[in-house]
Structures are given as structure tokens and as C-alpha cells.
A = this chain, B = another copy of it.
Amino acid sequence: MLVREIGEFGLIRRLRDLVSRSDPRVTVGIGDDAAVVAYDGPIVMTTDTFVDGVHFRDDWIDRISLGYKALTASLSDVAAMGGRPGHVLVSLAIPKEERVEQIESIYRGMAEASDEFAVSVVGGDIVSTAGPLVITVTVTGVLMGAKPLRRSGAKPGDLVFVTGDVGGSAAYVRLMQTGSSFALAPIDRWQLQQRHTRPKPQIGAAEALVRCQGCTSLNDVSDGLSSELADISEASRVHLDIDSERVPILPAARRFARLAGQKPLDFALYGGEDYQLVGTVTPLAAGTLLPLMEAYGVRLTLIGRVVDGEQGVDLLSDNGRQALLPRGYDHFSTAGGNDAQ
């Protein structure tokens, strides 16, 4: 069935039913001029837009996962401020020939993510477009501590960490781009695909970082470590030394890199879309943080330190020290990064 057969209002009714969820914080949900939601302190708010052909491709990600990922990518931004996401607005610009089932699948993925991460979709907008599908997700949430975790508080002496593993999403993109399966084990392929299509916002890790009282800067890995570390270095006006050996690259990404003749570290540094957290912590807090993270079921890896010196990031390896230049995805650069970012 085409969207234009049931019309804007018919579609809104179907989508509302898909994401409806009991949430005592919501006074007014989908269906009035605006939503009304209970908050009683500072709010965290962020918005992210995903465009067909730019951020995703139908042959790389199914529509349910697309909805899941569009939502979790925005939740990740709230976590990266030390926030707990709570409520979501979804805006869709839909091609006129789009099928209702395709849009419903996106909402099924959003419903899945909203159940998993305890957020509610409370409103949105649906319009038509002559261009590709555009999804905009806005999330509000609360701060988990007294202050936000910004990018700008790193001090010399602090340690640099990253949560979970990185490089999996970029390895999947490369796998898709080459169009070859190499001799990659099905379980490895599945893991890469999961990292790309079902990213997990690190809300628990963010809570542990707030509780440890010593997290001095924080960012989520949406654009690749090189770019996120550069952000922290620039905002905090410090220099970062990163031990290349310590970067926790997903083993499946390492194995794929070997088969494909790629450098595994490049997936982590320049790939992005891992939605892990990267930041800095005081040495004192690191001691409490490691077991705390374990209690949250999150692996935390120390990958470097904050040092005196000019803004910038150096990568240390057996070959010595070299500058790590930020190279993420610029939406308007002609060079570009990934084909789909």
C-alpha cells in the first residue's frame, strides 16, 4: 500500500499505535499541537538527521534497523553529555511513492529501541518530499549528575578512555563497499553487521562516568576516534597521546581487515558510527571507574593520556610518534569519507 493511498492522517494514526507506550511522565503525547512532558531540572536536547543515500542505503540496512539506529544515534548524543534520554520527536520527509509498510518498519525499529532504552516517542511531523527519505530524530533527557559532561574539561595528567569496542561499523561499510564476502566467518560478518545496524547508546556507561565524579571530558564516537579526540583536544586546549596498541578494535573487524588487506586501526580512527563513549578521567577516578563499569556490564579501556603541549593528538606505536589528524565525514567535502555515513 502506498502512503498516498491512506494519506498523512491515516499514516499518523498507524504510526502512533506502533510506538504508543505507557509513560507516566507524558501528559500529552502524539496527536495535539505539541507534546507535554514532566521534567523538573535542566534538560539535555539534541537533534540528528538521516538522509537516504547519504546516511544509509537500503541494501546495507533493513528498515527496522534503520529506525532503531536513527533513534539510538540520537540517544547516544544525550548519553555523551552525561544525560539519560527520555523523550523523542520524529520527523519524516517521505517520497510520495513510498510504501506504508516501509515507514511502519522504521517505526517498529524505533519502538524496539524505545522499549530497550526506556524512552517514549511523544510526537513528530510527517511531510512529503520530491527527494529522498529524510528522518530527523530529536531527543530530550535529564542530566544524571549536577553538571553536564562536556568536551572541554580534560587536564594534563588525565587518562583517555573508550568504552566497548570500535571499528566494527566502519568495517561493515567497507565489507559492503567491496561487495565481496572474502572468507569471513558468518559469525564475524554478523557481528560487523550488528555493530553497523544496531548500535547501542552507552547510557549505562554514561551513568557510571557521572557517578565516578572524575570524568573530565566526554564525546560519543559518531565520526571516528580521530575526529572525536580532536574535538576534546580542541575544546579542552590540551594535547592527547594515544597508544595505538590499546585501541579496543572489535576482533571481527581485525579479522576482516586481515582478509581485505586493510589496516584495522583505520576503521576505528576514521570510520565512526560506533556510538561508544570516548573521554578523559582523572587518575584517581579511574580506580573507581573500572570496577564501576564492570558492574554496569561495560568494558572500559584506557587508551592514552592528556599531556602538556599544543592542542592536537599524537598516535604512539612501535614506529614512534605521529600526529593523528581528524578525518571524519564532512557532508560537503568532495573527498568524502564513507559512501554512507
A positions within 8 Å CB-CB of B? 2-4, 6-9, 11, 27-28, 31-51, 53-55, 77-78, 80-81, 83, 87, 89-94, 96, 122-132, 134, 136, 138-140, 143, 148, 150-151, 218-220, 235, 330-334
Contacts and interface: CB of A to CB of B under 8 A. Distances in A.
Given A45-B87, A129-B51, A7 B93 contact: no
Contacts of A34: 44-46, 77-78, 80-81, 83, 139
A231 to B, nearest CB: 9
B46 A77 contact: no
Contacts of A38: 42
Given A28-B150, A37-B42, A47-B125, 8 more contacts: A8-B331, A33-B46, A48-B125, A49-B91, A49-B93, A91-B136, A130-B131, A138-B138
Contacts of A94: 331-332
Contacts of A44: 34-36
Contacts of A235: 31-32
B96 A136 contact: no
A77 B33 contact: yes
B148 A89 contact: no
Question: What 6 pairs between A and B have smallest CB-CB spacing?
Answer: A131-B131, A34-B46, A4-B332, A33-B80, A128-B331, A136-B136
B83 A53 contact: no
A88 B47 CA distance: 10
Contact of A49 (B81, B125, B331): B125
Contacts of A27: 42, 148
A148 to B, nearest CB: 5
Given A54-B130, A132-B129, A46 B123 contact: yes
Nearest to A83: B34
Contacts of A83: 34, 36
A71 to B, nearest CB: 14
B45 A42 contact: no
Nearest to A148: B36
A339 to B, nearest CB: 12
A7 B326 CA distance: 14
B122 A45 contact: yes
A267 B81 CA distance: 47
